Amino acid sequence: MPTVSPRRWWALAVLATAQFMVIMDTSIIGVALPEMQKDLGFSQGELQWVFNAYVIAFGGLLLLGGRLSDLLGARRVFTVGWTVLIGGSIVAAAAQTAWVEVAGRAVQGVGGALIAPAAMTLLMTLFAHDPKELGKAMALYGAAAPAGGTAGVFLGGVFTEWLSWPWIFIIYVPIGVVTLAATKLLPVVESRRGAIDALGAAAVTAGLALAVFAVVRAPETGWGSTETVLELLGAAALLVLFFVIQKSVRQPLMPLGIWRVPRLGSANLAMMLLGAAWIPMWYFLNLYLQQVLGYGAFASGAALLPMTLLLMVFMTAVTARLLGRFGAKPLIGGGLLVLALGLVWLSAVEPSGSFVVDVLPASLVAALGMSLAYIPAMMAAMAGAPQEQAGLASGIVNTTYQVGSALGLAALTALATSQGAGRLGDLPALTDGFSAAFTAAAVIAAVGGLITLLVMRTEKASAAGRQEQPEHAGPGEQVGV
């Protein structure tokens, strides 16, 4: 019988704060990007590295973070992660050049990659004794993500408008110090013996970074140039090497047998395409508001609040109930299609557009689609995994979302730049570039929705909203999608 911690709900508050801050780290920079571009000398195409440096480090190292959490103890890794995140925040805040800023963001991503899987392990340790408590804790922990997104959009605008953009990173220092002091509330998870697959971690992170680098540079060097082709081939070779390593080492980062978990494959594909559509939408919508409509940082952040508030409310109050009633498949597929509809609407933006007509209704439709798809996809990926592999399944699906985000943003930035988004001050050209990005994101979301509805297995949903095994799936059957 697992030990029940009397301080488990206080400990959950610490873990939810970590989730809140990790997600806020991806949203708080959005409205500050134009000011950072002016001060640090980023080109329009290079600007995405402020975001991608974080998600590449975060997504590429999540599996390693999970493995370290298992071997060294989750609380210890959680503490180290926060220390690294604070250090990266200081570097990012103090940066005087573009690439120091990118380096600081990458260090922040390393910290996030240690924090996120350790937090999930600690949550499972605290609440595994009671499925009802675990479900409630997961809901509260999950709600911290949209709350962090909402706070990031608002605070990014406040700090950039009335203080300066470095404050979007300085805020992490006092919050991080308080969180470190509160780690005594967390349970001690014993470390265990084992090997660290450093070569596998290096291969997957380098492969992802090289792929994004190639796509970012392709508009400048040419998609068919020798440089681009060699970079993409190198990225593919590194990712293939990663899977070879996982098959050959005794204690891999990602045991390939995990893909026998029901619907893990289709849920991860949905999450990848969701990230590839949603993150570029959020990125280019920020730029449209500021560079075309002329909004300041605070006004831009306030303009995105309705979308993020809808996300938070719908995810916490509605999606879980729908998941329990209808199951994951229709919500994921339908959510992606609704997101595609919102993106098609956004693609009609005009140089002389307005927030009320061109942005608000379309962004709310897109946010509705995101709120329908995200949590069901996450739950579908984890639901079939045995408890000892739940952390691994969570790490894989989070990695997939971050990979999709980074590659999607790189590809759509290249597309937008080729269609005119690199010509600052030329409002029609900028709008054409942003419209092209919204259209491509809509195609990605629609493809994801259709694939989910066609490929994902339908499984009966329990009252708690967790997915059960289909009755016809035998214990040895491989049901990856």
pLDDT, one tens digit per residue, over 393-402 is: 777 877 788 7
Cβ atoms of 437 and 309 closer than 8 Å = no
Report the alpha-carbon distance of residue 243 to residue 414 in Å, rounded.
28
Split at pLDDT 50, 70, 90, the class of 150 is low
Least confident of 151-160, 188-197, 338-347, 404-413: 188-197
Average pLDDT over residues 22-42: 79
Lowest mean pLDDT among 104-108, 189-193, 372-376, 445-449: 189-193
Q: Which residue has the higher pLDDT, 441 or 296?
A: 441
Q: Which residue has the higher pLDDT, 20 or 77?
A: 77
pLDDT in tens, 85-102: 999 999 999 998 888 999
Spacing of C-alpha 178 from chain mean position: 25
Which residue in 141, 185, 22 sits closest to 88, CA to CA?
A: 22
Distance CA 309, CA 67 (A): 34
Residue-wise pLDDT for 223-241, tens only, equals 788 888 998 999 999 989 9
DSSP 65-124: HHHHHHHH-HHHHHHHHHHHHHHHHHHHHH--SHHHHHHHHHHHHHHHHHHHHHHHHHHH
Highest-confidence segment of 6-10, 420-424, 474-478: 6-10
pLDDT at 60 over 90: no
Q: Which residue has the higher pLDDT, 131 or 253?
A: 253
Task: Name which residue leads in pLDDT, 380 or 80.
Answer: 80
Residues 329-333, mean pLDDT to the nearest whole number: 91
pLDDT above 60 (res 314): yes
Q: 316-329, pLDDT tens digit by residue?
A: 778 778 877 888 88
CB of 98 within 8 A of CB of 46? yes
Whether 309 has a pLDDT exceeding 60, the answer reads yes
Q: pLDDT at position 343, please?
A: 95
The answer, yes or no, to whether residue 356 has pLDDT greater than 80, is: yes
Higher pLDDT, 81 or 302: 81
What is the Cα–Cα distance from 310 to 262, expressed in whole angstroms? Answer: 31
Give the mean pLDDT of the chain: 80
Percent of the chain with pLDDT over 70: 86
Split at pLDDT 50, 70, 90, the class of 12 is confident
Average pLDDT over residues 367-372: 90
More confident of the two residues 185 and 79: 79
What confidence tier does 163 reach under pLDDT thresholds 50, 70, 90?
confident
